[in-house]
Amino acid sequence: MLENIGTRMATLKSEEFGIQMSDLPLINLRIDFNNTLALFRSERFRSQFSGHNGKKIPINTHYFTWHGRPSVLLSHLLRNAIVSIESAVSGAVIVEALARNMASRDVLEATKNPFSLRGQGTADCVYNLLPKLIDHDYALMKQNEELWEQNRIFYREVRNPLFHAYEVANNPEAVLNCLEHINDLFVWLNSWHSLENALTGGSEAEDVPELDDLRASQFIVERNFPEESKRVNKDLKILNILQAL
């Protein structure tokens, strides 16, 4: 069974709730995060959160148009990015274990549940104890002590509250700062788990794509801020354009 894991996370199924978690190609985690980071690096994208004339406007992303509260969207995108790096570390550990003939039931269980390693909090389990299963030198606190200390603060002040009944205020600039920190964590991950080992075919997945004007215009449609009576028609036109892409 262990040899069939490959570059994907283990499949999980809940008999109690009737739901199955399908395998996830690990490279998708990196690509999705890179796209989100590129999105937030675009001033044009971030400006949408300011609304217009004191009123919120629909926020266009690379995947969907958001009509809800901006804070909920910011919380969702940041939370998803955190899940991406945590999942990527777990996946990297099992892939490296397989590549080095170190795979075992204990390693597999640890990647599925890092808390079983009984570290001093989530950050310690994910960024120190999990990589140590492959090589003690891979622990974040040993490779980059400054980044580790910053990550401890990030988990205490951002990640943990976000996962326990708090949400991000309407501040895309602060979310960008958090995403840049997560990007540094991916750089650390790339230092001991190469993209070649993730069987990417030599792609440049570690490079954050530039969000050029042409690409931005495809999903961040220019607005003339029509009168309220015309706003519904304008939004429908935006949706039609996005659906046609």
- Give tens-digit pLDDT for 195-225: 666 554 333 445 555 555 545 444 444 444 4
Query: What is the band of 67 on the pLDDT scale with cuts at 50, 70, 90?
Result: very high
Instruction: Specify the pLDDT at position 79.
Output: 98
Query: What is the band of 53 on the pLDDT scale with cuts at 50, 70, 90?
Result: confident
Mean pLDDT of 57-77: 94
Instruction: Specify the pLDDT at position 11.
Output: 65
Instruction: Specify the pLDDT at position 160.
Output: 97
pLDDT value at 162 more than 60: yes
pLDDT value at 72 more than 90: yes
- Higher pLDDT pick, 111 / 237: 111
pLDDT value at 128 more than 60: yes
Mean pLDDT of 172-180: 97
- What percent of the chain has a predicted confidence (pLDDT) above 90? 61
Rounded CA-CA distance 29/225 in Å is: 35
Mean pLDDT of 96-119: 91
- What percent of the chain has a predicted confidence (pLDDT) above 70? 75
pLDDT value at 2 more than 80: no
Contacts of 15 (CB under 8 A, 6+ apart): none
Distance of CA 216 to the CA centre of its chain: 20
Rounded CA-CA distance 89/92 in Å is: 5
211 and 41 Cβ atoms separated by less than 8 Å? yes
Mean pLDDT (the chain) is 82
Tens digits of per-residue pLDDT, 4-39? 444 444 567 889 999 998 877 888 888 899 999 999
Contacts of 140 (CB under 8 A, 6+ apart): 127, 128, 131, 147, 148, 151, 185, 188
> Long-range CB contacts (< 8 A, 24+ apart) of 2-6?
2/98, 2/103, 2/104, 2/108, 3/98, 3/103, 5/94, 5/95, 5/98, 5/103, 5/108, 6/95, 6/98, 6/199
Instruction: Specify the pLDDT at position 4.
Output: 44
Instruction: Specify the pLDDT at position 205.
Output: 45
**What six digits make up the tokens of 228?**
């309220």
Instruction: Specify the pLDDT at position 203.
Output: 38
Instruction: Specify the pLDDT at position 242.
Output: 52
